[in-house]
Each structure stands twice: as structure tokens, then as C-alpha cells.
Amino acid sequence: MQGKAFEIPKSLVWQSYKSVKRNKGAPGCDGQTMKQFDNNRDRNLYKIWNRLCSGSYLPPPVREKRIPKADGSDRILGIPTISDRIAQGAVKIYLETRLDKLFHNSSFGYRPNRSAHMALTQCERNCRFKSWVLEIDIKAFFDHVDHDLVVKALEHHDMPRWVILYCRRWMEAPMTDSSKADTLTKRARGTPQGGVISPILANLFLHYAFDRWMDKHWRYVPFERYADDIVCHCSRMSEAVNLKEAIQRRMEEVGLSINEAKSNVVYIDTFPRHNVKKVFTFLGYDFKVRTLRRKDGCLFRKCAAGASMTAMKRITKTITSWRIHRSSGATLKELAQRYNASLRGWIHYYGKFWYRHFSYRIWSVFQSRLIKWARCKLKIGTREAERKLEQVRKRMPTLFAHWELLRASNVRPRAV
């Protein structure tokens, strides 16, 4: 380490490399893929470590990618290069081991050993005891994070000078628009959404901007926060309204604002009440009062989570866009290889709550496309196509991911 400005363990770079390789991902502005990086892996990793240690590492621009949102606007992602992701990952690992244990128990986003399903489970549990919900959406959060406040938080935790130096450089890294050659957009605020270091910096920012503030001023109001998606549980409507106003003022203090159109006070109790919103969406799930059936056949009502209507419409649209019936030259095994990854992803995420409702919807949508494929391929009627597919399913019940739904056990109450 002689002659180096900073003492950074090589193990951090190696751990980060393995994580980036495992997660794959698109190339950045230099066009380099992971395969190309691996052609000279050891030299490339040494170069990253050497520059980090010397203080001369300057992050390249991040590549802009626009993702259309449901409301017609775009979510802007910043995709770093492979080398930059590895460098960011090394600093992220260092930060994570020191900061994650300090974060709030109700913060779930982008943290080790925590998941969206854990946030949803806690949200469903809190809905049983509190009749009012305040859903908060922070407007363009990743685009408006105050750099100085992030640096102040890092300094508060006595982070080494090299951590603060590189975090500021990554937050200020310019963005290049692929549609406009040689055009760089400078960044005075925000942190690129899509960067490896961005989630933990965002969690650190909101830990002080929201989590600690809630514990100090609204300690009896439970909440769940997944990155910038927040749900608070209140006992009365007036409490939810006052909390919304207080959060708006708090966000303005730290340079943010809430999206009024997506921040609502919602009533989720079984007692009837008119002229109030009765459903809210959190992490792709709709929470509302549903009629359920217990194992003994008795009906009961409670606020429960289920795959959102928006998510179901998006899944249906995606399956329809595959135009499976046009692939009459493919075999069933080829279709399974082509679509099982998407099916399993949806089933794993959206099948966690209100299971039977979701499993029926995805079964009926995809199975109807398979029947249409069989009709086109074999030139037979619908009944015959259903019969032949049923024969295949009995011989190979795990061929398609959605076929496994029929034999999966269900221990949750059944929706009616």
C-alpha cells in the first residue's frame, strides 16, 4: 500500500465484481459488456483498485435510459459502465456493513435480508389495527436528493475521506443521452437511479429526512418505507390529514416535495363509510377490504393485499403481446423455455397474497393463449386443444410454470 493516498482492501473490489457479474445488466456509455470485461479481468480489476486507492478515479458519464410509466411520464435511469458498477459496489459494500444496522426497522428497500414481501406483510398487519392509511409518494425523489445533506450524513458517521470523495463524484456524474451524441447533462442535485451506490445513499438520506423524524415527532404512527414509497397508519382521519401536512413541510425542509396526485388519505376498515377513498396501492399490490372464506367455509371481511389491477392489466397485455399462437413452428418445450422465466417471476412476486385470485387470473390468461396456439398448430377445435394440453400437463406437470399452480397447496383464505 506504500504511496497510495487511500487504503482500500482489494477484497472489496473482488466482492463487488462477483456481485456485478451475478446481476448481469446492460452495458454503459462505453458499450463494454461483462464478457468483454472478463477477457482481461485481472488487469481491469487491478486498474479499478489502483485508481480508487490513488484518488484519481473519475466516474465516466452514466447512460440515460427512459422507462415509460403508467401515468405517461418517463422514469429516467442512469446506467453506469461495468467498471464503474464494480467501483461503486466496492464502496457500497463498505457502507452497507457499517450503516445498515443503524437503519430503521420499517425501512425495507434495497437492504440485505429484507424484501418487498416483508414490507407488504407488515403493511397488511398494521392495516388490521389502524383504520386510516396515508400513502405518500415523493415527487422525483432520485432526481432531487441534496448532495450536501448526503455528505453531511456520511460525515456524521465518520466515513473515511475516500468514501465521501467518491460518493460525491458519483452523485455529480453527468448523464449522456444516447439519442444525442456527445451531449452531457450536468447534475447538481439527485443521484442516478440505476447506480449501484444510489440505493444506500437514498436510504441514508431518508433515514434522517423521514425515519428519524417520524420517531421524534410521530412516534406512535407505524409506517413502512420501501425506498421512496411510504405508507403510514393512523387511527383517525384528522390524524392522517395533519400528518400529510407535516410530511409536506418536512420534505420542503430537505429540498423535496410530495406528489399530491399520488399521496392520499385512505379508509380501510370494514365499517361502511362514504365519500372517502377505500383502496391504496403499495409495491404493486392493492390493499382494500375483501370478502374471504376460512377453511371451515365461514365468510369474513378484512383489509387484505392482492395483485393490483394495474399489475394484472400489464401482465395480461404482456402475455397478449407475445402472440403465442403465431409461433406454430415451435414445440411446447421451446415455448416453456421462452416464457417460464417471466411466468415464474410474476408468480413468485404477485402470488404471495390473495393467492387463489392471482393464480386463477394468470392461469386463465396464459392457458387461453396456449389453447389458441394448439388450435393453430394442430388445426383442431377448442375442446380438442384443451384435451391434448391436459394430457401433456398430466405427463409433464412442471413443463410450464403456471401449471404448477394447480397442484400447489394453498393455506391462505380463499377469495369469493
pLDDT of residue 175: 84
Q: d(Cα 191, Cα 186) in Å, to the nearest integer?
A: 11
The confidence score (pLDDT) of residue 416 equals 34
Question: What is the identity of the amino acid at 305?
Answer: A
Q: Show me where the domains of the chain are located.
A: 10-262, 308-410
Q: Supply the pLDDT for residue 232.
A: 98
Segment 353-412, tens digit of pLDDT: 876 778 888 889 999 999 999 999 999 999 999 999 999 999 999 999 999 887 654 434
Model confidence pTM above 0.85: yes
**What whole-number distance in Å separates Cα of residue 188 and Cα of residue 94?**
25
**Cα 363 from chain centroid?**
24
Q: Which residues of 185-194 are buried (b: 16+ CB within 10 A; e: fewer)?
A: eebeebbbbb
Q: Which residues of the chain have pLDDT under 70?
A: 1-3, 70-72, 178-183, 355, 407-416
**pLDDT computed for residue 181 by the predictor:** 52
Among the four given CATH numbers 1.10.10.10, 3.40.630.30, 3.30.870.10, 3.90.1850.10, the one describing domain 10-262: 3.90.1850.10
Residue 355: per-residue pLDDT = 67
φ, ψ of residue 173 to 5 degrees: the values are -60, 130
Task: Kindly give, in sequence order, each residue whose CB lies less than 8 Å from that of residue 19, ignoring residues fewer than 6 positions away.
Answer: 89
**Number of helices (H) and strands (E), helices first, in the chain?**
15, 12
240-245 CB contacts, 8 Å cutoff, 24+ apart: 240/132, 240/133, 240/134, 240/265, 241/265, 243/134, 243/218, 244/134, 244/136
